[in-house]
Amino acid sequence: MIPGNGLKEVSSPVLLRRTKPPFNVAIGKPVRASSLPVFTSSASDVTDNDITTDFRTRGGNFSFVVVDLEALYDIDSVAVYFGGDEKRVFELRSGLEDLPGPDFNSYTLLFEIKTNDHKDYLFEGTLNKPIRARFVSLQIMDNSERLEVMELKVIGREI
């Protein structure tokens, strides 16, 4: 016992590992797109943390965007804010290497997303277990359609 405080002295202290809470690791990260934008939008609108801006590809060639997280992260969940008002199917994938696209089949499929026909659509998905990745791709699975996305959030943890 340590005199005066009633606590027992421990010969070897236990170190607790503190982990940072998950956060949106995509904010401000570089985005590459399959085509030049429509109108005055920029691919960087996908990760600007502002759902009032959007990015639209010109369509064709299975339109996509790829976010470079610039480091490895353990991804826990994602949120995608879509623009547009048509039913469409998308694939959200993650990988360790930068791929030129449009073939992202070597990436891990995180979610297949089917939007409804309402104006603007939010998809939120939580993974069963964290996936380690540096790159995240979002691709429309109809060769003739354009991709319209307002925001892509990737919730993860630093490694």
SS (H, E, C) 34-99: CCCCCCCCCHHHHHCCCCCCCEECCCCCCCEEEEEEEEEEEEEEEEEEECCCCCCEEEEEEECCCC
Looking at residue 57, its pLDDT comes to 84
Looking at residue 60, its pLDDT comes to 76
Q: Is the pLDDT of residue 96 over 90?
A: yes
Q: Is the pLDDT of residue 32 over 90?
A: yes
Q: Is the pLDDT of residue 36 over 80?
A: no
9, two tokens = 């002295």
Mean pLDDT calculated for residue range 13-31: 82
